Amino acid sequence: LPASIVPESLARSASATGAPTITLNTSVLPRVSMEGEAVVLSSSMGPRYATLRELGKGGMGEVDLVEDRDIGRTVAMKRLLAGQAGPAAVARFVDEVRTIGRLEHPNIVPIHDVGIDERGRFFFVMKYVDGETLESILDKLREGDPDYQRRFDLPRRVQIFQQILRALQFAHERGIIHRDIKPANVMVGRFGEVVLMDWGVARTIAGRASS
């Protein structure tokens, strides 16, 4: 975007955090329609991502379910909270993005995009896992829910544990430790996928080089 059309408030925020002022995420793919037998392309305009609902919020950031208007899918977007724009918070946010980016694995949440929103907040976009946390599943099992006891019998629980271990093995081989393994940070999708989430406090193992 030309600097002349970047909102002044965004420019001030981006300048304060060291971010460029030209990374606003706008929809770029045209809308396609038909007029008789002719294909008509029109500008989509507006933001690329449209917020649908909140998924969760922590001390540093918040995660929303958003629609990617270009690709036509729902994804999860993590933003830094408005009060977390200092250098230390931004550095931690950047580290989380780059840590996950180094870990392309079926059991680790992938990142699709990064940017700055209309309020000048850094964000990254990741796969939305349609399912529930392992914490929620364990709660239902402790309550004796018959449906959960049927769906998550002992062999299935072992499979979930194995997939978590595969994610950790992959990360450790690349010199990264998660440091926050807990049921709330494991998503079990509706298609049976198991995904380790929230790498915000992960660290590189001293003396280990990534591959």
Classified as helix, coil or strand, 118 is coil
CA 81 to chain centre: 15
- Residue 94: Cβ-neighbour burial (10 angstroms; 0-12, 13-18, 19+): middle
Is residue 115 within 8 A of residue 17, CB to CB? The reply is no
SS (H, E, C) 48-90: CEEEEEEEEECCCEEEEEEEECCCCEEEEEEEECCCCCCHHHH
* Residues carrying an active site annotation: 180
